[in-house]
Structure 1
C-alpha cells in the first residue's frame, strides 16, 4: 500500500461522504449510513487520520494484526468490528476487545463465541455472514438457512444478533444487495434488536447504500490500494 498523507485521507473521505449523500438522496432514504474504515495492512497512524476526520468505526480482518495495532489507535475510536474470517481457536483473543463480530459464518462459530462470552460474562453482538451469491469458495450461511440460524442464535444467552453482512460476487452485487435487504427486513419482523445491514465495500458501496445498507466497509476508498 502506498501510504497516504493526512490531506489525501481527508480528500478521499470527502469524496466518499459526497457519494453516500448522493446515493441516499437517489434512493429516497432519510436515514444515515455508518462508515467503517477497514484497517487491513494500514498503519495505525494513517488509520488515525481517518478517525480525526470523524470516522469512529473500524473494521478488523486479522486477529494478530488487530492485537498488534489496537493500543495505537486514537481514543476517539468508539467501535471496532471484526469482519474477517474467524477461526474458532482465535475467538478467545478478541472477546471483550471488539464491539461486534460481523463474520459469523457457522453455528460452530456461534457456539464458541457463546462459550467465550460466557467465560468473560459478556453479551457479544454478532452479525450472520450470508453467502448471498452461493459461491462454493466462500463461507457463510446460505440465503435459505438464515432464518433458521437466527432462530438458533436466539437460544444463546451471551449472543445478541444485530443483523446481517455479506460479500457478494462482484458481477451480482445489485441483485445480492436487494436480496440481503429482503432478508434483513424479514428478520426485523421477529427480532426488534435487528438494526444492522453491513454490505458494500470500496467498489460497490454506492449501490449498497441505494439498496439499504446501514454500514459500509471501506478500505482502499479511504486509504488507497493495497500492495497485497
Structure 2
C-alpha cells in the first residue's frame, strides 16, 4: 500500500523547492503533471482534493475514459504518451495539453478536429533526446519544419518542447544532464520561429528519478507518476 497521496505531493513539492533553490529559480515556474496512467480514478480524485490540477495519461483510450468520468472543469488534462493520428479524435474535445507532437500530421489532425468545436489545444514538440530507438520524438533537424507548419494554424498552439531522457538509477542521474541540456539548447536555437501561436517557453522534461537535474537544466513541466501514486501494477 502506497503512502498517502497528499503526503507524497507535499514531499514532491519540497523536492521541487529544494531543486529550485539550488538552481536559483522560482518554484512557481514549475508545473507538476501527475501521471496517473493505470491508476484508478479514485487516485486522481484524491490528488485533486489535495490541490493537484494537472494530470497526464499515456494512452488515448484511458485518457478519454478518465476525462469522461471525471468532469471537474479545473483539471488540466495532458496527453504525454505516444500519439496516433486515428486516436486524436477521441481526446481533442477535452484534452488541454498534448506533449508528444513529433510530426506535422498530428498538428494537422488536431487542427481539423479542434476547428469543428472551436477549441484551441496546447501542444509541445517531442524531441528524441536519448537517441534510443524505443523512445518517441522527432530528430532535431525535423523541428524547423514542424514549427513552420504550426505557424499557419488557428486551433493549435505550440508552447515548447518535450523530451524523455534515458532511464537511469537515482545515483546515476548526472548521466542524463547532457540530454536535458540539449533540449534547452534546441529551444534557445529555435526561438526565431516564434509567432503569435508558436512560443517556446515550456520545457517538459524530468520524471521521478531525474527531476532535480531537469529543473537545474531549465525544466518548466515535470511528468511524475511513481513518486505520487506509487508503483504501477502491470498485471
Asked if these proteins are the same fold (TM beyond 0.5), I'd say yes
SS of alignment partner, residue 190 of structure 2? helix
Q: CA deviation at 1:218?
A: 0.7
In structure 1, the residue matched to 2:20 is 24
Kept in 2: contact 1:39–1:60 (CA 8 A): yes
Q: TM-score, normalised by structure 2?
A: 0.87
Q: Distance in 2 between matches of 1:58 and 1:189?
A: 31
- Structure 2's unaligned 5+ residue stretches are 169-174
Pair 1:52-2:60 in alignment: no
Pair 1:158-2:158 in alignment: no
Matches for 1:30-179 after TM superposition, within 5 Å: 30=26, 31-73=28-70, 75=72, 77-171=74-168, 172-179=175-182
SS of alignment partner, residue 54 of structure 1? coil
Q: CA deviation at 1:70?
A: 2.2
Kept in 2: contact 1:58–1:77 (CA 8 A): no
SS of alignment partner, residue 194 of structure 1? strand
Q: CA deviation at 1:76?
A: 6.4
The superposition leaves residues 8-51 of structure 1 with CA deviations (integer Å, 9 ceiling, x where unpaired) of 21221121111110100111113521111111011111111111
Question: How many residues are treated as equivalent by the alignment?
Answer: 224
Kept in 1: contact 2:144–2:193 (CA 8 A): no
Please, what is the CA RMSD of the aligned residues? 1.9
- Structure 1's unaligned 5+ residue stretches are none
Q: CA deviation at 1:124?
A: 2.0
Q: CA deviation at 1:219?
A: 0.5
Pair 1:221-2:227 in alignment: yes
SS of alignment partner, residue 161 of structure 1? strand
Q: 1:15 aligns with which of 4, 11, 15?
A: 11
Q: Distance in 1 between matches of 2:36 and 2:112?
A: 28
